[in-house]
Copies of this chain bind each other. A is one copy, B any other.
Amino acid sequence: MPKVTEAHLEARRKQILDAAGACFSQKGFHQTTMQDICAQAELSPGAVYRYFSAKEEIIAAMVDERRREGIALIQAVKRERHDTLDVLDEIAEVFFNRLEDVQGCAVDIELWSESQSNRRVKELMRRDASDVTEAFTAIIQHAQKHGEVNPDLDPLAVAQVMNSSFYGLILQKSLDTDIEIGPYVQAIKAMMGGTFWLKGARKGA
């Protein structure tokens, strides 16, 4: 019988990851020292190393955590909505709302950077991106089959453009918090509502 419950272990891990997230978003991965994380988590180095064998493991765990969250969000939406438009609208809603988590966005950007030089992180990030892209692609294809979307467009490319609208806003907001999400989303919908949606498939947009 383990001396501490599974729940305790998991709570400690989360405590450390939260602390790390706070640090990473402020100073970046490589500017954050283990001592920073320890201080933020109010834990000793020895304790932290019991849960993560190296700093790199914390980074990897962080990618994984954010990846899982993203997938879960999409799954949840898909489970609840069935109409293509509704799914897209809801996903947009959910993901754009995620932008309010400034710290999370900063960590994401940090991960983009990390993935440039860190094989392991890159692979995780790539998988994450391609999962989302695939989900979008499937939605587009489904819509094309049902005559809702212009069948001449490459659904993969469309998915990538949709991805970009998230990624790009994360970056722009990080540089200028004042950017308003509302008009941005409206602009996107207007642009997609044109050629994208055949005839009047969409009403207001």
Residues of A within 8 A of B (CB): 25-31, 106, 109-110, 112-117, 122, 125-126, 129-130, 150, 152-154, 156-158, 160-161, 163-169, 171-172, 174-176, 179-180, 183-184, 186-188, 190-197, 205
Chain B: minimal CB distance from A169 (Å): 6
Tell whether, in the assembled complex, residue A154 and residue B187 are in contact, meaning their CB atoms are under 8 Å apart.
Answer: yes
**Which B residue sits closest to A175, measured CB to CB?**
B126
Q: What is the bound-complex CA distance between A188 and B25, given in angstroms?
A: 32
- The residues of B that contact A154 with a CB separation of less than 8 Å are 183, 186-187
**Which B residue sits closest to A127, measured CB to CB?**
B175
Tell whether, in the assembled complex, residue A31 and residue B30 are in contact, meaning their CB atoms are under 8 Å apart.
Answer: yes
Residue picked from A117, A158, A163, A193, most chain B C-beta under 10 Å: A117
**Which B residue sits closest to A125, measured CB to CB?**
B175
Tell whether, in the assembled complex, residue B113 and residue A109 are in contact, meaning their CB atoms are under 8 Å apart.
Answer: yes
Interface of A is mostly: helix
Q: What is the bound-complex CA distance between A14 and B204, given in angstroms?
A: 53
**Choice from B30, B161, B194, B197 contacting A187 with Cβ under 8 Å:** B161
**Choice from B157, B172, B192 contacting A164 with Cβ under 8 Å:** B172
Mind listing 5 A-B residue pairs with CB under 8 Å? A164-B168, A167-B167, A168-B168, A190-B196, A191-B191
**Which B residue sits closest to A2, measured CB to CB?**
B46
Chain B: minimal CB distance from A128 (Å): 9
Chain B: minimal CB distance from A199 (Å): 11
Q: What is the bound-complex CA distance between A203 and B26, given in angstroms?
A: 48
Q: Which 8 A-B pairs have the closest CB atoms?
A: A194-B194, A164-B168, A113-B113, A194-B195, A30-B30, A157-B183, A157-B187, A154-B183
Beyond A115-B174, A153-B187, 5 additional contacts (C-beta under 8 Å) are A109-B112, A116-B174, A154-B183, A164-B172, A193-B195
